[in-house]
Amino acid sequence: MTLTGIGVLLIGIAFLVLAIFLANTLQHMAGLLKGVEKTVDRLPDQLDDVMKETGNLISESNNTLADVNEKMEQVTPFFQLAGDMGDATRKLSSSLVEMTEALKQKSDDASSISGKNNLGGMYGSFALGYYLLQKKRKARSEGASTDDQ
């Protein structure tokens, strides 16, 4: 054999190895495509099931939402009543606060007047003297009534 013949033989062997490798790869690719084909064939049935379940879920959600709306309509008057009671209570408490502020202001004015005139101690002294006088009169009248008997 000549060198040209050996070169052609080597090229032929290389093509044979390459063809075997490509055939093996194509065989694996064909198996993969068959698996994809089976999956794609089952896909419409699975999508039908998913769509049915989604429709059921939407229907149940609508029923639940309608039930919640109905119950909210039944409870709404109680919330309105509670709000009205809160408003009435707020108005009452604000009027009480205003009245308390007015009384406090009057008390502060009276305290400042009595403090300015230094009448607090004098009024206390007169009140104590009057109390003692009344107590003494009562004791005398009780003593006189027991002496008479």
pLDDT tens-digit map of 44-70: 888 889 999 999 999 999 999 999 999
Q: Is residue 45 part of a domain?
A: yes
Q: Which domain holds residue 104?
A: 3-136
Please, which residues have CB within 8 angstroms of residue 120's CB and are 6 or more apart in sequence? 114
Q: Is residue 146 part of a domain?
A: no
Q: Is residue 48 part of a domain?
A: yes
Question: Model-level pTM?
Answer: 0.39
Q: Is residue 92 part of a domain?
A: yes
Q: Is residue 76 part of a domain?
A: yes
Confidence of residue 100 (pLDDT cuts 50, 70, 90): confident
| Domains identified in the chain, total number | 1
2: region left, alpha or beta (phi > 0 left; psi from -120 to 50 alpha)? beta
Confidence of residue 117 (pLDDT cuts 50, 70, 90): low
- How far apart (Å, rounded) are the C-alpha atoms in residues 126 and 116? 18
Q: Is residue 62 part of a domain?
A: yes
Q: Is residue 141 part of a domain?
A: no
